[in-house]
């Protein structure tokens, strides 16, 4: 699709200064409203005329959504906190370094300066058929162009498909799952709390959304419980280019050990399914081991059980296997 280099189509801009006002605006405009965080995902949609909301609610003026606070048994990150702030925060860097590490792997310095944690986890998929405005399942149509015989699907999923084969693009998502973060979503009816892994949903649940959030909802805070503070972390993101790029496959893992033995583990992989995948079976497998070579190999093999590559993304299967292996091996 040719890129259009003129103005974004007109919309009404709202710039609330409190969460209550924002929720009221979202309630009033429902499906016509678009929540603007950093805007780096949003403006592409607007400029390409693929999404044309009539009302845009800019969260940039809401102070209560920005900042990192110490709370009882953990840290609370406002959803509008910039990725740079997360990357540089001393508390996050020392106790939950995997979250800082993941934030550091997002796109470019300028994008991290402007992009927010809430926006990073809420962004839409990068499937270019969908993003170019093709009427696919996710866009309300009745086919998937990316799974067609001639389709270019090198970046698409190898598991978790349900009509749609797109992947979740978020770098911070698997890290948040690894530290067992809770997502606090508010609407006019009050707040709801979701485990990070339940916040992201696949097309089998709702093909038009990437997260549990519906039109009236707002992700206000992300809570990181102290349970996984100072665990052994492993994060790795594989991408085509050294900057600016979304992951092909990424892995985030947290291990709690007593001596050499892994007591408990949390491992998540992104870039392989329409949602970040938590590897429960692998976690159970590595429990009670030392993360030795044999365990790492078994973990890798177990992780890719049931993987079904498309025509051009077979490479993701060994990539995922090896990343899980490396994560487990990092403990030993």
Under the binding rule (CB under 8 A), the answer on residue 6 touching other proteins is yes
Q: Is the dihedral of CA 288, 294, 296, 302 positive or negative?
A: negative
Applying CB under 8 A, the span of 73-81, 164-172, 178-186, 241-249 interacting with other proteins comes to 241-249
Which one of residues 132, 143, 188, 243 is an interface residue with other proteins (CB under 8 A)? Answer: 243
Q: How many residues are given for the chain?
A: 332
Applying CB under 8 A, the span of 54-62, 138-146, 250-258, 280-288 interacting with other proteins comes to 54-62
Under the binding rule (CB under 8 A), the answer on residue 14 touching other proteins is yes
Q: Are 15 and 60 in contact (CB under 8 A)?
A: yes
Contacts of other proteins in 253-282 (CB under 8 A): none
- Report the residue number, 57 or 98, with the smaller CB distance to other proteins: 57
* DSSP string for 190-222: EEEEEEHHHHB--TTT-TT-SBS--TT-EEEEE
- Report the residue number, 45 or 225, with the smaller CB distance to other proteins: 45
Which one of residues 1, 12, 135, 332 is an interface residue with other proteins (CB under 8 A)? Answer: 12
* Least distance to other proteins, CB of residue 91, Å: 19
Given the structure tokens 């015989």, which residue do they identify? 149
Under the binding rule (CB under 8 A), the answer on residue 20 touching other proteins is no
Applying CB under 8 A, the span of 11-19, 118-126, 219-227, 266-274 interacting with other proteins comes to 11-19
Q: Annotate each residue in 101-120 with x if it binds other proteins (CB under 8 A) or - if it does not, as one string.
A: ------xxxxx-xx------
- Report the residue number, 84 or 247, with the smaller CB distance to other proteins: 84
Sheet with 277-278: list strands edge to edge: 232-238, 249-258, 261-270, 277-278
Counting residues that bind other proteins (by CB under 8 A) gives 33
| Residue 227: C-alpha distances to residues 75, 174, 254, 256, 274 (Å) | 11, 17, 11, 10, 28
Applying CB under 8 A, the span of 8-16, 26-34, 225-233, 292-300 interacting with other proteins comes to 8-16
Under the binding rule (CB under 8 A), the answer on residue 5 touching other proteins is yes
Contacts of other proteins in 280-319 (CB under 8 A): none
Q: Which residues contact 189 (CB under 8 A, 6 or more apart)?
A: none
* DSSP string for 49-76: TS---SEEEEGGG-GGGS-EEEETTEEE
Give the CA radius of gyration of the chain: 20
* Least distance to other proteins, CB of residue 292, Å: 33
Q: Are 183 and 194 in contact (CB under 8 A)?
A: yes
Calculate the CA dihedral of residues 16, 18, 19, 20 and round it to 10 degrees: -90
* Least distance to other proteins, CB of residue 274, Å: 24
Site residues (vs other proteins, CB under 8 A): 3, 5-15, 36, 39-40, 43-44, 46-47, 56, 58, 60, 84, 107-111, 113-114, 242-244
């Amino acid at each position: 699709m040719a890129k259009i280099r003129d103005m974004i189509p007109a919309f009404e801009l709202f710039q609330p200064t409190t969460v209550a006002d924002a929720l009221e605006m979202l309630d009033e405009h429902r499906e016509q409203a678009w929540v603007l965080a950093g805007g780096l995902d949003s403006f592409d949609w607007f400029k390409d005329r693929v999404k044309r909301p009539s009302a845009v609610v800019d969260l940039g003026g809401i102070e209560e959504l920005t900042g990192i606070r110490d709370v009882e048994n953990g840290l609370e990150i406002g959803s509008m906190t910039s990725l740079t702030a997360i990357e540089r925060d001393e508390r996050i860097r020392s106790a939950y370094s995997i979250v800082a590490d993941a934030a550091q792997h997002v796109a470019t310095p300028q994008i991290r300066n402007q992009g927010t944690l809430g926006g990073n986890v809420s962004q839409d998929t990068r499937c270019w058929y969908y993003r170019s405005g093709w009427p696919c399942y996710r866009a309300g149509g009745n086919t998937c162009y990316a799974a067609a015989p001639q389709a270019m699907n090198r970046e698409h999923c190898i598991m978790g498909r349900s009509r749609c084969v797109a992947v979740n693009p978020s770098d911070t998502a698997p890290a948040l799952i690894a530290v067992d973060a809770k997502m606090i979503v508010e609407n006019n009816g009050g707040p709801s709390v979701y485990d990070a892994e339940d916040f992201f949903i696949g097309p089998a649940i709702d093909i038009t959304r990437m997260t549990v959030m519906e039109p009236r909802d707002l992700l206000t805070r992300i809570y990181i419980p102290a349970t996984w503070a100072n665990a052994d972390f492993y994060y790795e993101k594989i991408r085509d280019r050294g900057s600016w790029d979304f992951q092909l496959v990424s892995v985030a893992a947290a291990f709690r050990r007593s001596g050499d033995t892994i007591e408990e583990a949390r491992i998540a992989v992104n870039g392989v399914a329409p949602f970040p995948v938590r590897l429960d079976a692998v976690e159970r497998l590595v429990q009670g081991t030392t993360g030795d070579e044999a365990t790492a190999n078994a973990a890798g093999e177990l992780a890719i059980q049931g993987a079904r590559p498309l025509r051009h993304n077979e490479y993701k299967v060994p990539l995922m296997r090896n990343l899980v292996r490396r994560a487990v091996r990092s403990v030993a």
